[in-house]
Amino acid sequence: MIEAGARAPDFTLPDQDGQLVSLAGFRGRPVLLVFYPADFSPVCTDQLSVYQESLAEFEGRGVQLLAISVDSAFCHKAFRGHLSLTMPLLADFHPKGEVARAYGLWSEEYGVAGRALVLIDPDGVVEWAHRSPALEYPGTDLIFEKLARLKPGGR
């Protein structure tokens, strides 16, 4: 798994609407990458629902959430609509798991990304990374604690 202090690998992925989203487009503000295994799975559904409830607080702190799984943009669109999510869902679909691999989160055994959070500072450097067991997700208290330590303007 990628470690704090590393330069975050850039990527460009389609969102739920097929629009291309690049990590580089968010330079100057912190980004929280939310890697999750699969749309419509019970734990992922709970996780993204909880993060959606706190989305205004993330946005108030200037943090952009980007949720990433290996599902297709079409699946993301259905999942987003089903849960009334407003955060972007990015499709690491083809080549499958390429971004998850770049961040050291790919599970060859299951063919999905591991459940993880990667906080990237405004300069594009990994500030914090956390991998969770497959059936657990990190709560927002842990995330907000880490965000409070983020240095203004990056490192």
Residues annotated as catalytic (active site), given as ranges: 44
List CB contacts of 125: < 8 A, sequence separation 6 or more. Answer: 5, 6, 7, 8, 154, 155
**With b meaning 16 or more CB within 10 Å and e meaning fewer, what string describes 79-90?**
bbeebebebbbb
Contact (Cβ atoms closer than 8 angstroms) between residue 137 and residue 43? yes
Specify the 3-state DSSP secondary structure of 29.
coil
For residues 144, 145, 146, 147, the Cα torsion angle rounded to the nearest 10 degrees is 40
The neighbouring-strand residues paired with 92 are none
Rounded distance, CA 20 to CA 26, Å? 13
Contact (Cβ atoms closer than 8 angstroms) between residue 85 and residue 52? yes
